């Protein structure tokens, strides 16, 4: 029997309670939400970052009578942030050039839809370039660009696709002689509200009616070096918002924490615009000069730190400043004179190093002094970090942070038994932002466990003001992390059961929660199977060896993580895992299992785990 106290005042539900956490993980941006169809458009992939990368990653020769020689050129580049380009030499009769494979299995186009081509080119003699999308020997759309003799210049054209494919390639053909090419781009004309995001993915996110968009991470916000691109060849640099705005050809690429190149085509201006387009408040998270996520190179140089503090203030001006201010003026010139109305800012993400305590106040004090209305969100990291988590919380209280960002990735059982987590939370200190949470899996059981848990968030919404499931997006062909809310390939998208739970809650938010009691027998939620997980993910723990064995003795997965790539018995399983330094989840499927759901008690998992040097928790 459910009894609701309709006479009680109840708890006010935060109007911003449900939002989304977007991170460029699992190729969420390039090959994902950012609608660009060409991979490595700027030829900046580099083996310094990843041994398998070259400037020609995703590119190959295309020869139609003539012969093509492809090389990466570096002299007189497009600009200092875009150092490489394609040097194409065509000899013989006919034409020849380069072909781009796109993301996933190829470049998708749809019959009747319009596509925009753009590229930068340089030729000694004028000559036409032909840009087509082809599938096998079928040409599905072509545009001609008339390149003039002389230095770098941008050329654009468009075409309507005459057929549909999800496995096309972009072919750029040049006449005889030398052509230098850079920023070779193909975009669908139709993007979400015309702002460059892939329509189907953006719609799925918009249909959640999220009240905030936390971005750009996660670990991508605070792992790497702090120097600007111009000073440092190490491309695993911390996300620096100023490098991600302005003309795309002037944005450097970055090899991100999740092990792939980011073009930064989806940058801070686009994040703000996207937040506005989906009716969400922008919630940027910035580094305070301390790393997290298993790596630390703290920024202790005061002059450098001062630049980071200033960049943070400049971001607020960029979002909210008048057009007469320096950064408000830049926003206006990019196309948005109206302020974006930034209200929240996150400082740090899961830092597990004491330098955080020294650096955070420099940022928080500067923001408070100049922008007292901005709500500052400190962070406590992951609940699994135990004593460290408590220490971070105490620090946030001492600092009078407005909110504290909590993260947890736990079993469904944890979510079922922790519905009351916030009942006893202190109502006088900082409020809670559950910035990242998920039960480990995308099964119905996981989704139900999260639904049950979310009733506890709502009941305590006087203290839990914001909450977002994590991560949001996963490209099925580039999985860094599971589970994820929305899955996609190059032309399809689907929501996990967890997605539909989030949508149910976020599109049905009440004003108040009235007290209620339930008496009677509660039925158990049946576990219908799922993935094998590595246990509580903990930045303090490094997983060295993982072995999964079936009851009949077959090894499905054995990995020492030494090479960053797994070894599993081919054909028996699929799995996804981060490399050794930062392993977190492995999902193993036994392809021999014909049952709808596997009985995981038939499998054994052995894991060697140890603490990373210097880590707490």
Interacting residues with ligand AHR (CB under 6 A): 23, 25, 217-219, 349-350, 407, 436, 470-471, 481
Q: What is the DSSP letter of 18?
A: B
DSSP β-ladder status, 85-91 and 67-73: antiparallel
The SS3 of residue 565 is coil
Cβ 200 to ligand AHR shortest distance, Å: 22
Cβ 513 to ligand AHR shortest distance, Å: 28
For ligand AHR, the closer CB: 35 or 576: 576
Cβ 549 to ligand AHR shortest distance, Å: 28
Cβ 409 to ligand AHR shortest distance, Å: 7
Please identify every residue annotated as catalytic: 350
For ligand AHR, the closer CB: 349 or 380: 349
For ligand AHR, the closer CB: 241 or 327: 241
**Hey, what are 195's tokens?**
């702002």
Cβ 471 to ligand AHR shortest distance, Å: 4
DSSP β-ladder status, 127-135 and 11-12: unpaired
For ligand AHR, the closer CB: 349 or 359: 349
Residue with CB nearest ligand AHR?
218
Alpha-carbon 450 to chain mean position: 22
Residue identified by tokens 């190059």 is: 490
**Hey, what are 484's tokens?**
């994820």
The SS3 of residue 196 is coil
Alpha helices (H) along 208-354: 219-222, 268-277, 302-320, 326-333
Instruction: Please give the Cα distance from 140 to 600 (Å, whole number).
Output: 47
| 321 burial type by CB count under 10 A (0-12 exposed, 13-18 middle, 19+ buried) | buried
Cβ 288 to ligand AHR shortest distance, Å: 15
The span from the first CA to the last CA of the chain, in angstroms, equals 43
For ligand AHR, the closer CB: 175 or 346: 346
What contacts 391, CB < 8 A, 6 or more positions away? none
Closest CA to 288 of 372, 369, 214, 355: 355
Instruction: Please give the Cα distance from 98 to 89 (Å, whole number).
Output: 10
For ligand AHR, the closer CB: 267 or 435: 435
Contact in structure between 220 and 28 (CB atoms under 8 Å): no
**Hey, what are 610's tokens?**
């140890």
């Amino acid at each position: 029997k459910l009894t609701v106290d309709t006479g009680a005042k109840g708890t006010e539900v935060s109007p911003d309670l449900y939002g989304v956490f977007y991170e460029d993980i699992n190729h969420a941006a390039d090959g994902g939400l950012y609608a660009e169809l060409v991979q490595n458009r700027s030829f900046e992939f580099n083996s310094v970052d990843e041994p398998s990368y070259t400037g020609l990653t995703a590119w190959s020769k295309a020869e139609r009578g003539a012969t093509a020689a492809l090389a990466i050129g570096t002299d007189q580049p497009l600009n200092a942030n875009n150092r490489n380009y394609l040097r194409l030499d065509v000899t013989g009769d006919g034409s020849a050039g380069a072909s781009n494979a796109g993301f996933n299995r190829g470049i998708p186009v749809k019959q009747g839809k319009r596509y925009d081509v753009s590229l930068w080119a340089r030729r000694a003699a004028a000559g036409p370039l032909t840009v087509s999308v082809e599938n096998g020997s079928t040409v599905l759309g072509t545009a001609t660009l008339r390149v003039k003799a002389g230095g770098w210049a941008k050329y654009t054209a468009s075409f309507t696709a005459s057929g549909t494919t999800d496995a096309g390639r972009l072919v750029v053909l040049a006449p005889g002689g030398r052509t230098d090419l850079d920023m070779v781009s193909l975009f669908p004309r139709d993007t979400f509200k015309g702002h460059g995001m892939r329509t189907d993915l953006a719609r799925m996110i918009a249909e959640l009616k999220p009240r905030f968009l936390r971005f750009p991470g996660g670990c991508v916000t605070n792992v790497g070096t702090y120097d600007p691109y111009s000073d440092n060849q190490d491309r695993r640099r911390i996300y620096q918002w100023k490098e991600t705005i302005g003309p795309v050809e002037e944005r450097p690429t970055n090899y991100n924490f999740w092990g792939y190149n980011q073009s930064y085509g989806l940058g801070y201006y686009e994040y703000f615009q996207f937040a506005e387009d989906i009716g969400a408040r922008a919630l940027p998270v910035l580094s305070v000069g301390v790393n997290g996520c298993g790596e630390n190179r703290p920024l202790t140089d005061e002059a450098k730190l001062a630049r980071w503090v200033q960049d943070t203030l400049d971001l607020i001006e960029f979002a909210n400043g008048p057009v007469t201010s320096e950064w408000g003026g830049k926003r206006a010139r990019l196309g948005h004179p109206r302020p974006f109305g930034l209200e929240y800012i996150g400082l740090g993400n899961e830092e597990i190093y004491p330098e955080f305590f020294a650096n955070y106040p420099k940022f928080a004090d500067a923001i408070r002094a100049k922008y007292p209305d901005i709500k500052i969100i400190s962070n406590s990291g992951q609940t699994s970090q135990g004593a460290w988590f408590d220490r971070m919380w105490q620090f946030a209280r001492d600092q009078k942070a407005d909110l504290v960002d909590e993260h947890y990735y736990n079993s469904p059982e944890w979510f079922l038994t922790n519905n009351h987590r916030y009942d006893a939370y202190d109502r006088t200190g900082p409020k809670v932002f559950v910035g990242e949470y998920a039960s480990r899996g995308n099964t119905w059981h996981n989704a139900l466990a999260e639904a049950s848990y979310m009733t506890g968030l709502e009941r305590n919404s006087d203290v839990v003001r914001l909450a977002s499931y994590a991560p949001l997006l996963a490209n099925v062909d580039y999985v860094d992390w599971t589970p994820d809310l929305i899955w996609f390939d190059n032309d399809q998208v689907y929501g996990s059961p967890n997605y539909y739970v989030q949508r149910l809650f976020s599109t049905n938010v009440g004003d108040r929660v009235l007290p209620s009691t339930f008496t009677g027998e509660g039925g158990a939620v049946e576990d219908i199977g799922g993935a094998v997980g590595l246990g509580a993910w903990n930045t303090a723990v490094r997983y060295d060896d993982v072995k999964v064995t079936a009851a009949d003795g077959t090894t499905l997965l054995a990995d020492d993580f030494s090479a960053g790539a797994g070894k599993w018995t081919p054909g028996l399983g699929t799995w996804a895992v981060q490399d050794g330094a930062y392993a977190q989840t492995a999902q193993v499927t036994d392809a021999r299992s014909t049952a709808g759901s596997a009985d995981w008690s038939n499998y054994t998992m052995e894991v060697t785990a140890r603490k990373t040097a210097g880590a707490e928790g």
